[in-house]
Amino acid sequence: MEDGMAIDLRNTPVATALDDYLDQLCKGNEGNADINRLELDGTVMHYDITMQHLHRIKNPFGGKITVYSVTTHARGKVDVLNPKPSDVKFCVDSPFGEVCATLSDIIKIAAGYVA
């Protein structure tokens, strides 16, 4: 439930713990996560997270060579006391634009294999 009085959580222990966890999920030797938005409005948490999966190696002639660089985003809002899988969204930047899926999409696919 939103009440219009959002609290910015970006500079809190919650954000630090989340950032540390997400950094571990990023692939590559230079991968990292950035929390762009993390707010609590009543019981609804709004989030905007950028994850960069980046791997570079030394170029024998100087500088570095990028082996891969992929950026992913997670944006949305979720009622932390009553979460809905359709509220959790995951997006990947591609050469053709953003490709997104919700947790509901993933659950539906997985449920077909469990049943």
Among residues 107, 71, 61, the alpha carbon closest in space to that of 88 is found at 107
Q: Strand 7-8 vs strand 89-94: parallel, antiparallel, or unpaired?
A: unpaired
Quick check: 113 pLDDT over 80?
no
pLDDT in tens, 51-90: 999 999 999 999 999 999 988 888 888 888 888 888 777 7
Pair of tokens at residue 115: 């049943």
Q: What value does the mean pLDDT of the chain take?
A: 85
